[in-house]
Chain A
Amino acid sequence: MNHVKQSNKLTNNLSRHFYISALLAQLLLGYSLNSQAFDFKEAIKGAVENELKKSDGASGSTEAKTTIETEVKTDAQNPNTPAASAEVKAEAETGINWKNPSQEEEIAIGREITGNLLGAAPLVKDAALQKYVNSVGRWVASQSERADLPWHFGVIDSEDINAFSAPGGYVVITKGLYRKLNNEAQLAGVLGHEIGHVVKKHQLKVIQKQQLLNKGASLLSEKFAKDNKIANKAIGTGAEISARGLDKSAEYEADRLGISVATRAGYDAYGLVDVLQNLTQTSKNDGSVALLFKTHPMPEERLVALSDAVGSRLDNVKPGKTLENRFYKLKN
């Protein structure tokens, strides 16, 4: 009885939530769990893992199939309303295997996030610039462990100083940061840092973790389900995920990988270091670095960490190229 009632409700809810954007909003639920219901999160953590193991082959996957079969027109025009983002539980399983997403799924997630980010700030309308950044990025990415990804790079029209990456090989740098660069090696270093995040799946792992946590939560008691709804009201939308920082250790790792890939690509190994040195001279109160400094360790700390990681490793590396002569100059 109860089961029938629930599944009716489920189907009804499911019909609203086929779109990945709604799904991504759901992903962000985890973040609100962090801030809004910390104990709740802690409490279910263990239970989540047990339930996940138990349910993965059974009810979980059944629900996932239901999602796919459900027709999706009901709320399609408004997938980001609170109503749509609330009550999302089983529809999280829109078919993406969160335990072990395929490369295609990873790319779909990254595309959605990047599309949202581009909604906040579009590309700089300069095809030559975009092509140039893609050329440098592609060459650097080819020296990474995930050379096979379809890498996409872009310069966005914002005076903020920042760079972003999303799963599957999407990398974006702001015009504000590009403006600070003096040569191609520095660009290679910045892109290398972002490539490092993608190679190590830093963002994807955060998303996966939250997703699995949510999925587990939905399988628990009604009380938790209620809490879930409350937490859902604080769900972020759009590209909010791009405004959330990763662990400091992930940033340091991306710095090390950034230097490594740029060096392998034949660039001056110190491009990223130059940029960080430059950033130490930017005031903490400057609004253009507010988000960058909020989501990353301070440039000085990053330099110290790099200094320790590099040690003597670069002593015998032949000096690379900086290529300031062909560095693309911004038109405005």
Chain B
Amino acid sequence: MKRNIERLLIATALMLQMGLSYAAETGSALKNDTLRFEPYADAKAVGNFTRGESLQILKKKGAWLQVKAKKGTGWVRLLSVKRGVATGSGNTVSGALAVASGRAGTGQVVSTTGIRGLSEAELKAAKFNETEIKAMESYSVSVAQGQKFASAGSLKTVAFSNLKAPVQPTGNQNESRKTIQ
């Protein structure tokens, strides 16, 4: 019994792992977009896909994914593709997760007691904790220390102005074409 649950959890973990990896076979289109012959905005158009369409993810290069769609195979920006299953949010794994968390109606509740939650009720009942807030403040890092930490990781600042709210509603098919002109 316990063993079964363990196996189930491992299986779930594996499934999740697969879902997260770029090598995962499937994805779905977050928007209408044009497929390009190469991973560049100005590469030749070789097809397109529409929002919600299932895609096969073949390769990743920088911020681009090579995908196979109904109307051709080509490259798109990775932000046009949701990795994992085609419809809804995580339908494939939800079943397994439901079992693992005891919600599948089998009565096999895998204990989650001892896990501290942050439900609305718990947050509402929360009492100010001076010790903890002081502790949190004690871990603060100065600007100079932050800079030092960044240098240690070879992080260098990049000029990039804040992203603005898109003017057009979501799913604009001609977006990439416009940027080329």
Contacts and interface: CB of A to CB of B under 8 A. Distances in A.
Contacts of B79: 270, 273, 303, 306-307, 310
Interface in B82-98: 82-84, 89-90, 93-94, 97-98
A287 B20 CA distance: 20
B89 A284 contact: yes
A179 to B, nearest CB: 12
B136 A139 contact: no
Interface string B69-89: 000000001111011100001
Nearest to B40: A315
Interface in B110-159: 112, 115-120, 122-130, 132-133, 135-137, 139-143, 145-147, 149-150, 153-159
B116 A159 contact: yes
Nearest to B84: A281
Given A116-B128, A312-B179, A142 B147 contact: yes
Nearest to A145: B162
Interface string A264-295: 11110110010001101111111100110000
Interface stretch (A47-55, A61-69, A89-97, A120-128): A120-128
Contacts of A240: 120, 123-124
A302 to B, nearest CB: 10
A76 interface: no
B90 A151 contact: no
Contact of B127 (A119, A280, A287): A119
Interface stretch (A98-106, A218-226, A249-257): A249-257
Q: Chain B, interface size: which category? A: 35 or more
A18 interface: no
Interface of B: 16, 19-20, 30-31, 40-41, 62-63, 77-80, 82-84, 89-90, 93-94, 97-98, 101, 103, 112, 115-120, 122-130, 132-133, 135-137, 139-143, 145-147, 149-150, 153-166, 168-172, 175-176, 179
A226 B90 CA distance: 49
Interface residues of A, number: 99
A233 interface: no
Contact of A264 (B20, B90, B124, B160): B160
B12 to A, nearest CB: 11
B150 A121 contact: no
B160 A263 contact: yes
Contacts of A135: 141, 145-146, 149
B153 A111 contact: no
A263 B137 CA distance: 26
B129 A118 contact: yes
22 contacts: A119-B128, A119-B132, A130-B136, A135-B145, A138-B141, A158-B117, A236-B124, A240-B120, A243-B123, A253-B165, A260-B160, A263-B158, A281-B16, A303-B30, A307-B30, A308-B168, A308-B171, A312-B179, A313-B163, A315-B40, A315-B179, A320-B158
B148 to A, nearest CB: 9
Given A21-B128, A307-B31, A286 B101 contact: yes
